[in-house]
Amino acid sequence: MSSTTDTRIQPGSTVLWDKGDAAGHDILGTRTFGFWLYMLTDAMVYAAFFAAFGVLAHNAGLNSKSVLAAVFNAQGAYRETIALFASVLAYGYAMVALKKGSRSGVAVGTVVALVLGLVFLGMVSGDMERLFGQGIVPQSNGFLSIVFTLIIYHALHIIVGAIWMLVMLAQMGRDGFTSNVVYRLINLRIFWHFQAVIWVFIFVFVYLQGKVI
Amino acid sequence: MTHSVDNPLHHPEVEQASFAGYLANFVITVVVMTAALWVVGDKSLSTLGFIGWTTLFAVVAVLVQAYFLLHMNWSKAQVWHTVAMLMFIPLFVVMIGLTAWMFHGLYERTMIAMPPHTMAAPMKRAAPAQAVPPVSQPVPAPKAM
Amino acid sequence: MFVHLQGPWNPVWGRLSLQAIPYHNPILVGTFLFAVVIALAAVGAVLYFRAGPYLWREWLTTVDHKKIGVMYCLLGLVMLFRGFADALMIRTQQAIAVGPHSPGYLGALHGYLTPFHIGQVYTAHGLIMVVFAATPLLVGIMNIIVPLQIGARDMAYPYLNALGFWLTAAAAGLVMLSLFVGNFAHGGWYGFLPYFELPYSPGVGVDYWMWAFQLSAVGTTLGSINLIATIVKMRAPGMTWMRMPIFTWASLSTNLIALTSFPVLMVSLALLGLDRYFGTHFYTAGNGGNLMLYNDLFWVWGHPEVYFLILPAFGMMSEIIPTFSEKTLFGYTTMVVASFAIGGVSWGVWLHHFFTMAAEPSVNSFYSVTTMLVGIPTGVKVFNWIFTMYRGRVRFELPMMWAVLALFLLLVGGMSGMMNAFAANDYMWHNGVFVVAHFHMMVLLIAASIFGAVEYWFPKIFGFKLEQRWGKWFFWFMVLGTAWVFVPMFILGFTGMTRRLDYVPYTQWAPYLRVMLVGMAFYVIALVFFFAHLYVSLRDRVKNRVGADPWGTSRNLEWMTHSPVPAYNFAYIPHVHARDEWAWRKENGVASLANESFEDIHMPRNTGVPVLLGALSFVLCFGLIWRIWWLSAASLALVVLVIIVRSFARNTDEVITAKTVAGVEGAVDDALPSAARG
Ligand code: HEM
Ligand SMILES: [Cu+2]
C-alpha cells in the first residue's frame, strides 16, 4: 500500500491535529460565498428566460406595430433605469458607511435606496397598468407572456429587496454591527447590486432592441 | 484557511466598499445607457448596426458593474466569487446561443414564414382582471380515477 | 387574473371534493390500507416506546449533517420501494395485456390497469426513481461523507442543510399524497407538451407532478450551494485541492452541475405553471407559444441531471476500488479532470433527447458529436479503475462486488448510449424501449454504487458492519433480476417496441415480456434477501462492532475518527499532509486518534424551523394544486414570516464542553478488531 505524497514525517515537528476551534473558519466569507452562488442560480433563471425570449420572439409578429411600440417604451424604461441605478448608488453609500462603522450612515443610505427602489417599482407598475388598460396582457400571446414575465420577475426581486431592507434596519437598530448583521448587509448589497446588472439586460435586450423585433 | 477577524467591520468584504468606485459606476453606466437610448432614435443606423451598438453598450455597462459593484477581482476575499461567475458565463452563452441556433433552423424548416407585424390586429380585451385567456374549450375534468 | 376552470370550484375547498378520493379503485384502496397499517404501526411504536420527544430532539430538528444524511437515505429508500412497486405493476400489466385476446380485470379492457391508471404509474415511477430515490440517496451519502473527508465539523450552512432535506421530503410527500387524494400526471415523468396544458390535462395530476418536481428542485439547489461552499471554504488545514479525496471531488463536480442546471428546470416548470394558472402562452400550440421550448428547457436540465446522478456514483467506485485493491487510485489527476470534463460536456448535449424535433442536420450532427465526446472522459475513468485493480490485492467483499457490478453495467449502458448518440439511429428507436434499457443500465449502475457505498460506509456511521451472507444473496439476485429484465428489453427495443404501452399489440413479444416477469420475480426475492440482510445485521450488531478503520485498508480522512462518528466529527481537526492522509499515517506509523486535553467545541443548535418550513411548503403546494387560494396565500405569508422571525434569533449556536468531549472520547474503543479481517 503506497500513498501519494512526497511529504515525509518530521519527527517532533509534524503537526497531526490542529487544536483550536474550527469556528476559526471565515464565517462571513463563507456566508457571502453561498449567497453569491444563490445569486448566480438566479442569474441562470434569467438566462433561461432570455433563451425563452429568443425562441418566442420569432412569433412577435402576432402583435401589431402599435402594440409593440406601447410595450417597448424606451423613454419610460430609461427613467426606471436611472431610478434603479441611483438606488444602487445609495446602497453603495451605505456600504461605505458600514466600513466606517457609522450606523446612521448605513441607515440613511438604506432608506434612500429603499425609497428609490419604491420609485422604480411605482414606475414599473404604472407602466404595467397602462398596458393592461389597453388590453395588452401576458395572456395575449407567447411573446408578450415572456416579456411580461421577465419584467415582473425582476420587479418581484425589488419587492423582496425592499422587505429585506426594512428587516435590516430593524436588526441593525436592535443589534448594531454584529457579524450576523454585517454579513446580511453584505448579502443585501450583492442582491441589490445584482438587480442593476440584470436590469441592464432587460433594458437593452428587451426594451431597446424590442424596437427591431 | 482564512481565519475570522474579530471585528466584522474589518473583514475584507466590508473594507472593499469604495464610494469613488460606486460613483464611477453610476456615472459610467448612466452615460452608457443614455448612449444606448440615444442610438434608438438614430434613424441612420442599420438594424445590424443598431443591435451591435446597443449590445456593445450593454456589455460595457455590465463589465463596469461587475468590476465596481460585484467586485469581481482576484483578491483573496473575492477570488472564489469570481471563479464561480466565470464558470457560469459560458453556460449562459451555451444555453442561449445553442437554443437560438437550433430554433432558428427549426422555424425555417417547420413554419410558414410569418412576416412581422402583419398578422393580427391588437387584441381587444377588457381590463386584465376579466381577461379570459384564449384557451379553447377544455375537455371536462375527468372524474378522479 | 386566474384561468377560468371548467368544473366545480368553491372558495373554501378549491377543487377538492370527496370525489377526489379514489375509493372505488381496489388497488388504491389496498395501498391506502397498507399505508394506514404502516402509519399506525409507526405511530404506535413511537407512542409505546415514548420515542416522540427523542425523535423530535435528535432527528426532526437536527442540523447534524450525518443525521440529515441518514434521513435523506431513509427517504430515498422508502421512495425506492414505492418506485419498485410501480415497476412491478408495469411489468405485470405488460405481461398480461398482450394481444387482442388478452384478459381484462378490474375495469381494464386488457390487463388490470386502465390506460389512465398505468399512465400515472409510468410517470410516478420515473419521477420517483430519478428525483426521490436516486437523488436523496446520493445527496444523503454526500452529506454524510464529504464533511468527514475534508475534516470539517459540519456543513457550511447546517440550517440550510436541514431546510433542503425537509423541502425534498415535503415534495416526496406530495407524490405519495397524490395516491389517495386526486391523481398524478399520466403523460410521462419528463412532461409532455402541449398535453400537459390545462385544456388537455385539466385535472390535478399535472399540478401534483409539477409542484412536487419544483419543490424538490428547490431543495436540491439549496443542497448544492451548501456542499460547494463546504468544500470550497471548510477544508481542514493542509488539505490543498489536489489532496482532496476523490469522492469529494466527485461531489464538487456533481454539485456544480446541480447548481447550474436546476434553475433551468425550475424555469421550464414555472412557465408551464404560468400557462396553467394564468393562461399565458409559453408552450401552447397556438397563440405564439412553442411546445418545443419546453423540451429545450427541460433537457437543458435533464441531461446534466443524469450526470448529476452518475458522478457521485463514480466517486463511490473510486473510493471502494482502491480500498479493496489495497492500492492508491490510479490516475488521480486524470480522474479529477475527467469528472469536470463530463460535467462540462454534459451541458452541451441536451438536444440528443429530441433529435426527432426536426432541427437542421448541422444541429443534429453537432449534438451527436458532443454526446459522443462524453465517452472519452468516461473511458478514462473506466481504465483508471481497471488499472487500480491491476496488480492490486483485490478482495471481493460486498462493497467491491457492487463496484465491479457497476463497472459492467457502465459498459453496457455507455455503449448503448453511444448507439443512441447517432441521430440516424435515434430516429428509429427514439421513445422506444431500447432507450429505456439504456438508461436503466445507467441508473442501475448508480443503484449498485449506492449499495456498495452503503456497505462500505455503514460501519463508519453506525459503528457496526453489515453481515455478508445475506448481503451476497441479495447481490446475486439483483444481478439475476437485472439480466432477466433488461436483456429482453434490449431485444424488444431492436424489434421496435415503444415505451409506456398500456397494451401490447404484438403477441410475438409475449415471450420476452414473460421472461422479464421472471426477472421481476428475482428482484422480489432480492428484496426479501435485502430485508434478511438488514435484520441479521441489526440482530448481530454487537458482534459486528468495529473500530475506527473497519476495512483495514481505507485511505481517507473519514476513517480518522471513531465509528460511529461523534456529533462533532473530530475532537481535533486533522492536519493534512498527503493525498490519502490516513494511508500515509498508517505507513508512517502515526495512525492513532488524538485523545488528550480536549477543548470546547462550538456547534450549531438544533432548530425546528426547517421542518416547519417544509410543512408549510407542503401546504402551500397542496393549496396551489387544488386551487385553494386562501390556504396558499396564508402558508406563503407564514413562510415569509417564519424566515424573518428566525433571522432575528440570537442563540443559534451551542457549546459542547471539553468535559463532554472527553467523556465521549474516553468511552470509545477504536482498537476493536475489524470483523472482516479477523
Ligand atoms: C456515455 C454516456 C451516455 C450517452 C452517450 C447517452 C446517450 C443518450 C441518448 C442519445 C439518449 C436519448 C435517446 C432517446 O430518447 O431517443 C439518452 C437517453 C437517456 N439517458 Fe443517456 N447517455 C449516456 C449516459 C447516461 C447516463 C450516465 C445516464 C444516467 C445516469 C443516462 C440516462 C439517460 C436517460 C434517463 C435517458 C432517457 C430519458 C427519457 O427519455 O426518459 N444516460 N442517453
Ligand atoms: Cu442525455
Per-residue pLDDT at A151: 97
Confidence check: pLDDT of C455 > 90: yes
CATH number of the domain at A45-211, please? 1.20.120.80
Please indicate whether, in this complex, the C-beta atoms of C282 and A25 are within 8 angstroms of each other. Answer: no
* DSSP secondary structure of A81-111: HHHHHHHHHHHHHHHHHHHTT-HHHHHHHHH
The C-alpha cell that represents C186 in the structure block: 399520466
Q: Is the pLDDT of residue C596 over 80?
A: no
Tell me what the mean pLDDT of segment C442-469 comes to: 96
* Containing structural domain, residue C412: 18-178+192-667
Quote the pLDDT of residue C624.
97
With cut-offs at 50, 70 and 90, classify the pLDDT of residue B86: very high
Averaged pLDDT of chain B: 80
pLDDT at B4 exceeding the cut of 60 = no
Count of alpha carbons within 13 Å of C171, Cβ hemisphere only? Answer: 28
**Atom 34 of ligand 1 has which residue's CA nearest to it?**
C439
Count of the separate structural domains present in chain C: 1
pLDDT digits (tens, 9 = 90+) for C392-446: 999 999 999 999 999 999 999 999 999 999 999 999 999 999 999 999 999 999 9
Q: Band the pLDDT of B141: cuts 50, 70, 90.
A: very low
Q: Do A137 and B114 touch (CB under 8 A)?
A: no
Q: Is residue C310 a contact partner of residue C446, using CB atoms and an 8 Å limit?
A: yes
Question: In the prediction, which pLDDT does C633 show?
Answer: 97
- Compute the half-sphere exposure of residue A45: CA atoms within 13 Å on the CB side of its CA: 21
| C50 assigned to some structural domain | yes
User: Which chain A residues contact residue C236 at CB under 8 A?
Assistant: 18
- What pLDDT is recorded for position A24? 58
C20-24, C115-119, C405-409, C460-464: least confidently modelled range: C20-24
List the Cα angle C487/C488/C491 in 5-degree steps: 95
| Whether A88 and B69 lie within 8 Å, measured CB to CB | yes
User: Has residue C470 got a pLDDT over 70?
Assistant: yes
DSSP C466: P
Chain mean position to CA B124: 31
- Which pLDDT belongs to residue B42? 82
Q: Which pLDDT belongs to residue A7? A: 65
3-state secondary structure of B82: helix
- Can you tell me the ipTM of this complex? 0.95
CATH of the domain at C498: 1.20.210.10
The pLDDT assigned to A159 comes to: 98
How close A75 comes to chain C (CA, Å)? 27
The answer to whether residue A206 scores a pLDDT higher than 50 is yes
What value does the mean pLDDT of chain C take?
94
Contact A44 B91 (CB under 8 A): yes
Residues with CB under 6 A from ligand 1: C 190, 306, 309-310, 352-353, 371, 374-375, 378, 414, 417-418, 420-421, 426, 430, 435, 438-439, 442-443, 446
List of chain A residues whose C-beta atoms are within 8 Å of the C-beta of residue C657: none
By alpha-carbon position, which residue is closest to atom 36 of ligand 1?
A: C439
Q: Using CB atoms, which chains have 3+ pairs under 8 A with C?
A: A, B
What is the Cα Rg of chain A in Å? 23
Contacts of residues B113-119 at CB distance under 8 Å and 24 or more positions apart, as own/partner, are: B114/A58, B114/A59, B114/A61, B114/A62, B115/A61, B116/A60, B116/A61, B116/A213, B117/A61, B117/A63, B117/A64, B117/A65, B117/A68, B118/A61, B119/A61, B119/A62, B119/A63
Band (pLDDT 50/70/90 cuts) for residue C678 is: very low
Residue C12 lies inside a defined structural domain of this protein: no
Predicted confidence at residue C329, as pLDDT, reads 94
**Model pLDDT, residue A16:** 86
- Residue A36 main-chain phi, psi, to 5 deg: -65, -40
- The pLDDT of residue A155 is 97
Phi, psi values for residue C654, rounded to 5°? -145, 170
Is residue C90 included in any domain, yes or no?
Answer: yes
Q: Which residue of C has its CA nearest to A19?
A: C572
The answer on pLDDT for C373 being more than 90 is yes
Put simply, whether A10 touches C (Cβ < 8 Å) is no
| Chains touching B (3+ CB pairs < 8 Å) | A, C
Using 50, 70 and 90 to split pLDDT, how confident is the model at B108?
confident
pLDDT at B125 over 90: no
Report d(CA A182, CA A98) in Å as an integer: 8
C291 neighbors C355 (Cβ within 8 angstroms): no
Residue predicted with more confidence, C410 or A1: C410
Which ligand 1 atom is the nearest neighbour of the CA of C420?
10
The yes-or-no verdict on residue B120 having pLDDT over 70 is: no
What are the chain B neighbours of C357 within 8 Å (beta carbons)? 102, 106
Question: pLDDT value at position C598?
Answer: 85
* pLDDT at B136 (0 to 100): 46
Percent of chain C with pLDDT over 90: 86
Instruction: Report which DSSP code applies to A22.
Output: G
Geometric angle at alpha carbon B48, from B43 and B50, rounded to 5°? 45
Average pLDDT over residues A2-15: 65
| pLDDT for position A4 | 55
State residue B43's pLDDT score: 83
Q: How far apart are CA C250 and CA C255, in angstroms?
A: 8
Model confidence at C259, pLDDT cuts 50, 70, 90, reads very high
Q: Residues C605-633, buried b or exposed e (16+ Cβ, 10 A)?
A: ebbebbbbbbbbbbbbbbbbbbbbeebbe
Parse chain A into domains and list their residue ranges.
45-211
For residues A83-99, average pLDDT = 97
pTM score:
0.93
Paired with A18 in beta bridges are C573
Confidence of residue C671 (pLDDT cuts 50, 70, 90): low
Q: What is the pLDDT of residue C563?
A: 87
Q: Specify the length of chain A in residues.
A: 213
If one residue of C190, C356, C380, C435 were mutated to test the ligand 1 pocket, choosing by the most ligand atoms within 8 A of its CB, it would be C435
User: Which residues fall within 8 angstroms of residue A146, CB to CB, at 6 or more apart?
Assistant: A49, A52, A53, A56, C282
What confidence tens digit (pLDDT) does each residue in B37-66 have?
999 888 888 989 999 999 999 999 999 999
- Of the ranges A199-203, B72-76, C674-678, the best mean pLDDT one: A199-203
* B18 Cβ under 8 Å from any chain A Cβ: yes
For residue C251, name the pLDDT band (cuts at 50, 70, 90).
Answer: very high
When pLDDT is cut at 50, 70 and 90, the band that residue B126 belongs to is very low
DSSP bridge partners of C14 = C10
Specify the pLDDT at position C666: 82
For A135-145, how does the pLDDT look when each residue is reduced to its tens digit (9 = 90+)? 999 999 999 99
Let me know if residue C677 belongs to a domain. no
Residue pair A170/A114 in contact (Cβ under 8 Å)? The answer is no
pLDDT tier at C312, thresholds 50, 70, 90: very high
